[in-house]
Structure 1
């Protein structure tokens, strides 16, 4: 199995230096695009409602992720509380919006990582990690010194700053961002994320620059980029624009998980009048088939099954 990149940085001392550099950002936090500027080291919190310590909702082997992450032993997921966005239809709203979870020391986060490795997981899957990058790096220094040797998966909603992603160069081997929307107006209305497409595109470009297309050994991902796109009813996600960006500006060999599991949750489940009415129903088979057609037409071919008779790029 390919050796995770962070081990080399640990041996050179650069991993500790990178963790210290990231921690300094917390004194006037600019980790995410909101750049609140609050002093989280002093206990202040901004949009994400997160402070000095990481807040973890749950952890454990996960067998519902992409097959290349799951393998035989599962993906070692760590669900972090809170989020840089507030999606009106979030299926994990109790964690992302309501802050369910417990603040823990970075050393305890390191122990969680090691426990997932001991359980046979193929990777450490950091879910919603953006607002805890400094704490994750501090935990990683400890975990790697104590024997962590499996890759990190950076599992993010896509509302990231390329500058924060740059701090992770040579540390994260597998990036898994969402590419949620094809236009900013929808992203603002449904996820309260200003300029989402700009930040999503900039961060995915940086991720791909660091790790390239997905590489798999013995059926398990070891390095590279996986992009997730949740298809929304009525074409609200702007799937055609998203797939065009990935194919034209990232790589036609990008692994893209075109997801069909939308269902009304959180505010969308309550038939809120301010939301588009089609968000109050599930995705139809025809809508999902249309998104697959658009992905294949853009020239993408990895991570999903193109519609019958459709060859990628034709």
Structure 2
């Protein structure tokens, strides 16, 4: 089993009963769902599916040790990834398109989800990495409460597309140890066209600020594995669609110049990207060089890669 040197945040809330109160508060919000900025009002308690196409159970596509994540999460033993099916975004170019929009995965109860968390711990993973969790927060909270009573001691990673409601994130305050959001776009029209969320830039700004308020800058242990804090991912898109310069300047100016950023250059056309130029091509070398120059000019100090 993985040996962690920092006590995960959720144990303190479990001991005081606050974790159960968070579960109840999150579950109540499913009756007229407002867990993400879409606030579509679906009665998910009765099985109605909202924008995320998820009702009263989380859908899990796959779980297991993952070695393709950011190095501070992977360490030597891997990050314990739980890939949730469906999504609260409709990214045309999603690399997990079959999972996020194609319907792959199976519904699971919180009890099964808790078992999956514990199984990742038994496999020696450094953390439980919740991939695309924004629309399934109540089920995650319930599973964490169940698993913690059975010995779960791994830190939780909230690995999100960045389209999160601050009010929902507050349910996770003291539960999540590491936030790893994407910050996809700076321009609202681009966000609407490519991901179906016109208010994405404003929502992502508010969400990242709340995440940083909760956990602060990223802390990495002597084993080079992250223990707590914020790590922001930004995918460089072809044609400057991501607004990289503005995103990085915001992180340095409004969040913290010590914010860790993964400036990602691995974009490739997936999903429906081939029908939406310039998403039908990879970024040009000059485009990624411009993104790197924007990082150097931003005032940020910490970058992966």
How far did 1:303 drift? 2.2
1:291 equivalent to 2:291? Answer yes
CA–CA distance in structure 2, aligned partners of residues 21 and 135 of structure 1: 12
Structure 1 residues 5-51: Cα deviation after superposition (integer angstroms, max 9, x where no partner): 10011111111111111000001100011101111011101110001
Query: In structure 1, what is the equivalent of residue 184 of structure 2?
Result: 180
Q: Which residue of 2 aligns with 1:50?
A: 54
SS at match of 2:186: coil
Unpaired segments ≥5 residues, structure 1: 306-314
Structure 1 match to 2:272? 267
Gaps of 5+ in 2: none
| RMSD of aligned residue pairs (Cα, Å) | 0.8
Q: 1:252 corresponds to which residue?
A: 257
CA distance in 2, matches of 1:162, 1:138: 20
Partners in 2 of 1:279 and 1:98 — Cα distance? 19
In the TM superposition, what whole-angstrom CA distance separates every residue of 1:229-275 from its partner, at most 9, and x where no partner exists?
00001111000010011010001100000001111111113xx2xx2
- Please state if 1:127 is matched with 2:144: no
| Residue aligning to 2:244 | 239
Choose the corresponding residue for 1:19, options 19, 23, 28. Answer: 23
Q: Which runs of 4+ in 1 moved over 2 A?
A: none
Q: 2-side partners of 1:65 and 1:90: how far apart?
A: 16
- Residue 165 of structure 1 is matched in structure 2 by 169
2:40 corresponds to: 36
Alignment check: 8 A CA contact 1:161 1:203 kept: yes
Cα distance in structure 2, aligned partners of 1:150 and 1:282 = 37
Structure 2 CA distance, aligned partners of 1:49 and 1:106? Answer: 18
Contact 1:28 1:37 in 2 (8 A): yes
How far does residue 287 in structure 1 lie from its aligned partner after superposition? 1.3
TM score, norm. by length of structure 2: 0.97
Structure 1 residue 302 and structure 2 residue 305: aligned?
no
Q: What is the rounded CA distance, in whole Å, between the counterparts of 1:150 and 1:303 in structure 2?
A: 25
**By how many angstroms is 1:304 displaced?**
3.4
Aligned to 1:311: none
Q: Of the candidates 211, 215, 220, which is equivalent to residue 219 of structure 2?
A: 215
Matches of 1:62 and 1:304, distance apart in 2: 18
The separation in 2 between residues aligned to 1:239 and 1:59, in whole angstroms, is 31
**1:29–1:36: 8 Å Cα contact kept in structure 2?**
yes
Structure 2 distance, partners of 1:101, 1:57, is 4
Greater mean alpha carbon deviation, residues 14-23 or residues 282-291: 282-291
Match of 2:144 among 124, 140, 143: 140
For the residues of structure 2 that align with 1:291 and 1:300, how far apart are their CA atoms? 13
Q: Distance in 1 between matches of 2:116 and 2:296?
A: 39
User: TM-score, normalised to structure 1's length?
Assistant: 0.94
Distance 2:37 2:69 in 1: 27
Per the alignment, in what secondary structure is the counterpart of residue 297 of structure 1? helix
Q: Secondary structure at the match of 2:103?
A: coil
